[in-house]
Amino acid sequence: MQRQIRCPHCGKASTVYRNPTPTTDVVIYTPERGVVVIRRDNPPLGYALPGGFIEEGESAEAAALREAWEETGLEVELTGLLGVYSRPDRDPRQHTLSVVFTGRPLHPETLRAGDDAAQAAFYPLNALPTPLAFDHADILADFRQALAGKRGLAGLQPPVPLTPAPGGEA
């Protein structure tokens, strides 16, 4: 969707696009411990998968790794692409499009809450906390289907590190 606005300084018309905002989420899983779920410290409150907004100049894969680290303290190896979730109502704050990855923690014992997570813990897939924010219940249902062999995962590109924008910092 687009609309025209006028610059308040020069009066020149400019086009503004209203597109979904790109985000990423990670289903961090080990068969022994379960899946990592955080308790959100900011609205919308509830429990969620680690994830967040993709920054300018950052790949979805790099954003997934960064968000996992910031919110859980875990170094994660991405193992597949579960799917892309883009329902306009998936986030009550704005229309987002999330690239959802699966991953495994390299050192699960280092799990800790960080950034905007008030708590981070492993939960068995059959005993998840509620309420789950966003569409994360749907994402985890799809993940259960993948574990059962009823849904495939897509392959991955190697993550590209964040590069600074021209004249800015990373």
- Per-residue pLDDT for 170 more than 50? no
pLDDT surpasses 60 at 167:
no
| 111 within a domain of the structure (yes/no) | yes
Give pLDDT tens digits for 122-164: 999 999 999 999 999 999 999 999 999 999 999 887 655 555 5
Range of 86's domain? 20-148
Distance between alpha carbon 6 and the CA centroid of its chain, in Å?
Answer: 34
Higher pLDDT, 7 or 68: 68
Residue-level pLDDT at 156: 86
Domain count, the chain: 1
Does any domain span residue 153?
no
pLDDT exceeds cutoff 80 at 168: no
Domain assignment present for residue 93? The answer is yes
pLDDT at 152: 93
The pLDDT score that the predictor gives to residue 160 is 56
- Strand boundaries in the chain, DSSP class E: 2-6, 13-17, 21-30, 34-40, 47-48, 51-53, 76-85, 96-105, 117-123
Residue 164 lies in a domain: no
8 domain-assigned: no
pLDDT in tens, 10-34: 888 888 778 999 999 999 999 999 9
In a 13 Å sphere around the CA of 132, the CA atoms on its Cβ side amount to 18
The stretch 84-95 carries a mean pLDDT of: 94
| Rounded Cα gap, residues 32 and 149, in angstroms | 18
Is 98 contained in some domain?
yes
* Confidence (pTM): 0.85
85 Cβ contact list (under 8 Å, min separation 6): 25, 97, 98, 100, 135, 138, 139
- Residue 69: CATH number of its domain: 3.90.79.10
